[in-house]
Structure 1
Amino acid sequence: MFSVTVRDHIMVAHSFSGAVFGPAQRLHGATFVVDATFRRPDLDDDGVVVDIGLATEQLKAVLGELNYRNLDDEPAFAGTNTTTEVLARTVADRLAARVAAGDLGVGAHGLTGLTVTLHESHVAWAAYERSLP
């Protein structure tokens, strides 16, 4: 299996519901380093997994929908704790939709998988892995 990873970051504000979150129940900020790893079993005719430039642009566009936002105010997250895991799935699903729409180029139709990892710090991160049609 071949893979290519592109990276960006986001800064958000949010709060959590539930005693398990302790002081994070209060509004707080978070900065995440975000990796998107695209996978396919074989390289395309040009010898690449995906166009790195397009992958970078699309990751930036998806993250732009979240960056510098209070996620508590975003209708898409109403009633949801925007944990690192939830955000990883959200970014992966939004990137997958862009792959399906052709936004990562024709060669991206050979992609079979995508993993999005959000790094909370140098010692903690969470990821969501999904198949691509």
Structure 2
Amino acid sequence: MFSVTVRDHMMIAHSFRGEVFGPAQRLHGATFVVDATFRRRELDADGVVVDIGLATAQLRAVLGELTYRNLDDDPAFAGVNTTTEVLARAVADRLAARVRAGDLGAGARALAGITVTLHESHVAWASYERSL
């Protein structure tokens, strides 16, 4: 399996429901370094997994829908704790939709999967892996 990873970041505000979250139940900010890894079994005719420029642009576009926002006010996350894990899945699903729409180029339709990792810090991160 071949893979290519691109990286960007996002800054969001949110709060959590549930005693398990302690002080994070209050509104707070988070900055995530976001890695999106695209996988495929064989390289395309150009010898690449995916066009890195298109992958970078689409990751930036997806994160642009989330960054500098209070996710508590976003209808897409109504009633959901926007944990790092939940956000990793949301980013992966939005990237998958862009792959299906052809936004990463026609060759990207042969991708096997995407993994999105959100780094909360240098010592903690969460990922979501999905097939395409």
Deviation of 1:110 (Å): 1.0
In the other structure, the counterpart of 2:54 is 54
Q: Distance in 2 between matches of 1:26 and 1:67?
A: 19
Deviation of 1:24 (Å): 0.1
Q: Distance in 2 between matches of 1:104 and 1:113?
A: 13
| AA at the equivalent of 2:72 | D
Q: Deviations over 1:34-91 (max 9, x none)?
A: 0000000000000000000000000000000000000000000010000000000000
**Seq. identity, %:** 85
Deviation of 1:130 (Å): 0.2
Q: TM-score, normalised by structure 1?
A: 0.99
Deviation of 1:8 (Å): 0.2
Which runs of structure 2 are paired with 1:1-133 in the superposition (5 Å)? 1-132=1-132
Deviation of 1:33 (Å): 0.1
| AA at the equivalent of 2:98 | R
Q: Distance in 2 between matches of 1:123 and 1:82?
A: 20
> Structure 1 residue runs of 4+, over 4 Å off?
none
Q: TM-score, normalised by structure 2?
A: 1.00
| AA at the equivalent of 1:27 | L
Q: Distance in 1 between matches of 2:14 and 2:104?
A: 30
CA RMSD of aligned residues (A): 0.3
- Where in structure 2 are there 5+ consecutive unaligned residues? none
Deviation of 1:32 (Å): 0.1
Deviation of 1:109 (Å): 1.1
